[in-house]
């Protein structure tokens, strides 16, 4: 076939020229991120985020034997709670630590075993726990040894710690306190499958809320004991002297896609364009590059959070997996939570004062706007606070203690 009239293919650009063309005219911030991304990819740094060492990964088809013995009558039952390193303000650790406190108060000899694949300073994390969760002062905090022995029961608190228990624990009953359906944290792939397999490792599953309880059943046919969600109404409550409420609040968490960071930023951009008179409060991560004016509070203590919730009209509380504690804590302080709609989430959060919206930025912005446009702000806030009056963590801790009694006496 003749090639007459067919233009020759352009010679490929040298890699350096292609790179310079891509970077020309970019901002310093873009260049810094681009360089960091290239180094990240070249060094395969993402492997460091994987929460388990390879030798600690279990397989539900190759489980190691372990021994279960009766608890001696001359001492309290010993319970080990295996955790990943905590940071102050972690909601997941806070919920677990409420259960640990309840178990200790009920007479169980409780120990926190820290599993850190990077071998961080145990004294540092012990100090973090003592400062951020002062009700655990009398609970021992130790490193998870290569062999976990000496306990009558071991409790996993995440998919990674379930694998660690399955590979390292040689004795004791095995329980799994499940706060979320963790396969949904990552795309389908190896990590998804490891998380999914954690529910097949032979533990007694304790599901926090109807969403996790239902997903374990529907996705895997796995049984679980239901642990009801609770609410700390001693900390979160409407202000004694109610002032005029203004604005909205949002918990920002970069790098945690299930908390809807991108959706929230775009929703608040739209909300501000329609309601520029309403201040926007951000807590958690500092967002310095927002295209709308915002008041950054950074990390707040529970009492500081309650003060913020008690001053705003509404709050954006997004979660694409299990419902967080934030919506009910907002309600207790009189703020109206706007939540992305989900059929499983509605099973957990059956409060009529919650505002549900489709998971698009425009729909979320419209929902926030509808709340701040109401003329009965004070009455609406009072109704929200009244809707959760009397709630506590007692039903949840009692459900956990029933399981411990059935396993350990």
**Going edge to edge, which strands form the sheet with 295-298?**
295-298, 280-284, 248-252, 314-316, 336-340, 355-357
Domain 55-230+395-408, CATH among 3.30.70.120, 2.60.40.10, 3.40.50.11090, 3.40.50.2300: 3.40.50.11090
d(CA 113, CA 154): 9
pLDDT of res. 213: 96
The pLDDT assigned to 9 comes to: 57
Chain length of the chain: 409
Burial of 178 per CB tally in 10 Å (0-12, 13-18, 19+) = buried
Q: Which of 193, 228, 198, 200 is nearest to 212 (CA)?
A: 228
What tokens were used for 89?
Answer: 């303000």
- Please choose, from the candidates 396, 386, 389, the residue with its C-alpha nearest in 3D space to the C-alpha of residue 210: 396
List the domain boundaries for the chain.
55-230+395-408, 248-387
Domain 248-387 of CATH type 3.40.50.150: no
For the chain, the straight-line distance linking the first and the last C-alpha, in angstroms and rounded, comes to: 87
CB 93 within 8 A of CB 327: no
Rounded Cα–Cα distance for residues 216 and 207 (Å): 8
The pLDDT tens digits of the residues spanning 197-229 come to 999 999 999 999 999 999 999 999 999 999 999
What is the reported pLDDT for 1? Answer: 47
Which residue numbers in the chain have pLDDT < 50?
1-2
Beta sheet of 153-156, edge-to-edge order: 140-143, 109-114, 78-83, 153-156, 173-178, 204-208, 225-227
Cα torsion 222, 198, 186, 296 to 10°: value is 100
């Amino acid at each position: 076939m003749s090639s007459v009239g067919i233009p020759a293919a352009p010679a490929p650009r040298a890699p350096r020229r292609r790179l310079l063309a891509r970077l020309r005219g970019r901002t310093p911030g873009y260049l810094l991120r681009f360089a960091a991304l290239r180094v990240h990819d070249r060094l395969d740094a993402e492997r460091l985020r994987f929460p388990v060492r390879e030798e600690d990964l279990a397989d539900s088809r190759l489980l190691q034997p372990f021994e279960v013995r009766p608890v001696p009558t001359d001492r309290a039952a010993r319970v080990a709670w295996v955790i990943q390193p905590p940071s102050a303000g972690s909601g997941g650790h806070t919920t677990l630590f409420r259960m640990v406190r309840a178990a200790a108060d009920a007479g169980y000899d409780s120990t926190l075993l820290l599993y850190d694949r990077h071998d961080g300073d145990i004294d540092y994390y012990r100090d973090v726990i003592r400062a951020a969760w002062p009700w655990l002062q009398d609970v021992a905090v130790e490193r998870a040894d290569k062999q976990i022995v000496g306990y009558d029961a071991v409790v996993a608190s995440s998919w990674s710690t379930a694998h660690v228990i399955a590979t390292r624990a040689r004795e004791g009953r095995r329980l799994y306190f499940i706060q979320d359906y963790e396969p949904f944290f990552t795309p389908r792939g190896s990590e998804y499958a490891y998380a999914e397999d954690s529910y097949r490792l032979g533990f007694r599953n304790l599901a926090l809320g109807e969403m996790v309880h239902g997903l374990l059943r529907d996705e895997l046919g796995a049984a679980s004991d239901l642990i009801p969600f609770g609410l700390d109404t001693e900390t979160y409550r409407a202000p004694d002297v109610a002032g005029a409420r203004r604005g909205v609040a949002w918990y920002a968490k970069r790098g945690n896609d299930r908390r809807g960071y991108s959706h929230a930023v775009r929703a608040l951009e739209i909300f501000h364009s329609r309601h520029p008179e309403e201040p926007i409060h951000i807590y958690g991560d500092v967002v310095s590059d927002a295209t709308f004016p915002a008041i950054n509070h950074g990390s707040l203590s529970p009492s500081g959070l309650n003060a913020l919730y008690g001053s705003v009209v509404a709050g954006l509380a997004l979660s694409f997996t299990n419902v967080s504690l934030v919506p009910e804590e907002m309600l207790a302080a009189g703020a109206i939570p706007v939540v992305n709609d989900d059929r499983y989430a509605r099973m957990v959060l059956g409060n009529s004062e919650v505002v549900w919206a489709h998971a698009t930025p425009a729909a979320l912005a419209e929902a926030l706007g509808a709340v701040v446009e109401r003329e009965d702000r004070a009455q609406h806030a009072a109704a929200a606070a009244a809707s959760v009056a009397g709630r506590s963590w007692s039903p949840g801790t009692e459900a956990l203690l029933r399981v411990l009694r059935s396993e350990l006496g």
